[in-house]
Chain A
Amino acid sequence: MIDLQNVSFGYGRGKRIFEGFSWSAKRGEAWVVLGSSGCGKSTLLYLLAGLVHPEEGKVRVGDELLERPRPRTGLILQDYGLLPWATVQDNIALGLRVRQFYGPDGRHAPRDEKTPQINEKVEEWLEQLGLQEVAASYPGQISGGQRQRAAIGRTLALNPDLLLMDEPFASLDAPTREGLQRLTLRLNEESGLTTVVVTHSIEEAALLGRRVLVLGLPPNRTARVVKNLKEEQNAQDRAGLVERLRGMLESRE
């Protein structure tokens, strides 16, 4: 699904964030990218989303060489992702409208997909995510959790096969966060969606990631991967994993 080969990248003339970095992920896997701030987690996501391009090396997603954002990749950012001037339902409809705007050209929208009835599709996601009550509200009027659910709805309405999330739950309170974390796990398990979640929280990494990619201080040259086996998924075993991850993060700093 994802294949990075010898990727080098830096912003402007600054220090490189990745240097000859290689990493790959298979279809349907649940990945977490863990690291402290400034380590290049978000940059990795932008590279995967096709929003920035490597200076050297190749980024392949879903068997294609990435040159621009790929219609089947969904990206959810921590904040600011929703249009402040559009209601929740218009925000959820945005991606579908953009697809309709261009038509199935293979570049902005998948070639093989008919644009669905937008209203029905939006209604469906409003219901699934429990957002019906705030459908006509603007993002500024609703809670952080509702905003994040709306962002998830907008992305999922486009039927992605890869979901990239940048610190999606960082600004939420604990119960909301746990609810959305469960939703993310369910999406991966039930629909076989490949997920890559970026976080700085070790606990979140242990909970959400079946595999964890640990990034250190830039430049990152090698991918350090920790497997989080299914058997380890109960709370007690997770504690051990948390310790291991913490050790890895500290050893790099």
Chain B
Amino acid sequence: MRKRSLFFAVLALGAVWELLALMINKPILPSLTLVLKEFVLEFPGELGRHFLASAWRVIASMFFSIALAAPAGLVLGQYASLDRIFSPVIYLLYPVPKVVLVPVVILFLGINDLSKIVIIFLILFFQILVLVRDQAATIRPELLYSVRSIGAGRRALFRYVYWPASLPAVLTALRQSIGTAVAVLYVVELIATQRGLGYYIYLQGSTLFDYPKMYAGVLAMSLMGLGLYFGTDVLHRKLCPWQFAHRSE
């Protein structure tokens, strides 16, 4: 995407916001300029602290889910016999909405960051696991034959074939689940915590009725999602350059 078109999209969305704020003309939708002012004032202080707490939770979950799901997916994709044992379990667990497990996880792990990280981890874990497994299982046998024929055993196959072949799947899974991860982050931060953007937004909107601050929180959360999305995109381009190379002819 071009930077210029992105810039115009931001301008257009801002204009729509201002227009709606003018038309509605009520405190529940303050003008964008007011929200931006509040954002700039609040971010170096309280809002920034909540932002960091949220960012840590979601980034830690992403890290742990990749660290565990990618190797597990690679192994399941490569060993059909293991996959036969685990795939019914994954099939049953995958569609379970993990967010309903929030109370259960809190009961087991306590009121702390860990329980929140685990919930988001559970969501990301299954998405990455399934995509990586399917990717690893679809590697053409001809490719494996030709790499085995030059001497590669299992370890070298992992290093030179399975891992790079699955990298795009890891990043795609990550990108697809960022939206869900941030949404769930909001939900888990409503419960039993006084830190995080979810808490901040809810507090400002439903207890203090400070709408400009609430919107500043919403903006911060959106920017976090956007930042993660961009970050994943950049990683994708950096780690998988062959997917972005075009034919020279």
Contact = CB atoms under 8 A, between A and B. Distances in A.
25 contacts: A46-B145, A69-B150, A71-B151, A74-B150, A75-B146, A76-B146, A77-B142, A77-B145, A80-B140, A80-B142, A84-B242, A85-B165, A85-B242, A94-B150, A98-B147, A98-B156, A101-B159, A102-B153, A108-B152, A108-B153, A109-B151, A138-B245, A141-B246, A142-B248, A158-B151
Given A94-B160, A101-B159, A109-B151, A81 B242 contact: no
A95 interface: yes
Given A80-B146, A138-B241, A140-B245, 16 more contacts: A49-B145, A69-B148, A75-B145, A76-B146, A77-B146, A80-B140, A80-B143, A85-B165, A86-B164, A86-B242, A98-B160, A101-B159, A108-B151, A108-B153, A138-B245, A141-B246
Contacts of A99: 151
Q: Specify the main secondary structure of chain B where it touches its partner.
A: helix
Interface in B95-126: none
Given A101-B156, A108-B156, A137-B248, A79 B149 contact: no
A137 B164 CA distance: 17
In the A-B complex, the 9 residue pairs with the smallest Cβ-Cβ separation, listed nearest first, are A75-B149, A95-B150, A81-B146, A80-B142, A108-B151, A138-B242, A85-B164, A85-B242, A80-B140
A143 B165 CA distance: 22
Contact of A98 (B152, B165, B240, B241): B152
A95 to B, nearest CB: 4
A228 interface: no
A51 interface: yes
Nearest to A154: B150
Interface in A74-116: 74-86, 94-95, 97-99, 101-102, 107-109
B142 A79 contact: yes
A101 B152 CA distance: 9
A155 interface: yes
A73 interface: yes
A173 to B, nearest CB: 14
Nearest to B144: A51
A80 B249 CA distance: 21
Given A49-B149, A69-B148, A85-B164, A140 B142 contact: no
B145 to A, nearest CB: 5
A73 B147 contact: no
A154 B247 CA distance: 22
A80 B246 CA distance: 18
Contact of B240 (A69, A85, A94, A108): A85
Contacts of A107: 153
Contacts of A83: 143, 147, 160-161, 164
Interface of A is mostly: loop
Nearest to A139: B242
Contacts of B142: 77-81
Nearest to A73: B149
Contacts of A84: 242
A141 B146 contact: no
Contacts of A69: 148-151
Given A83-B160, A83-B164, A141-B247, A74 B143 contact: no
B142 to A, nearest CB: 4
A104 to B, nearest CB: 11
A141 B161 CA distance: 19
A83 B160 CA distance: 9
Contacts of B143: 80-81, 83
Contacts of A97: 160
Interface hub of B150, B242, B249 (most chain A Cβ within 10 A)? B150
A98 B150 contact: yes
A223 B246 CA distance: 47
B172 to A, nearest CB: 15
Interface string B163-177: 011010000000000
Nearest to A109: B151
Contact of A51 (B149, B160, B165, B245): B149
A78 B146 CA distance: 10
B245 A155 contact: no
A83 B146 CA distance: 10
Given A80-B140, A80-B143, A83-B160, A155 B150 contact: yes
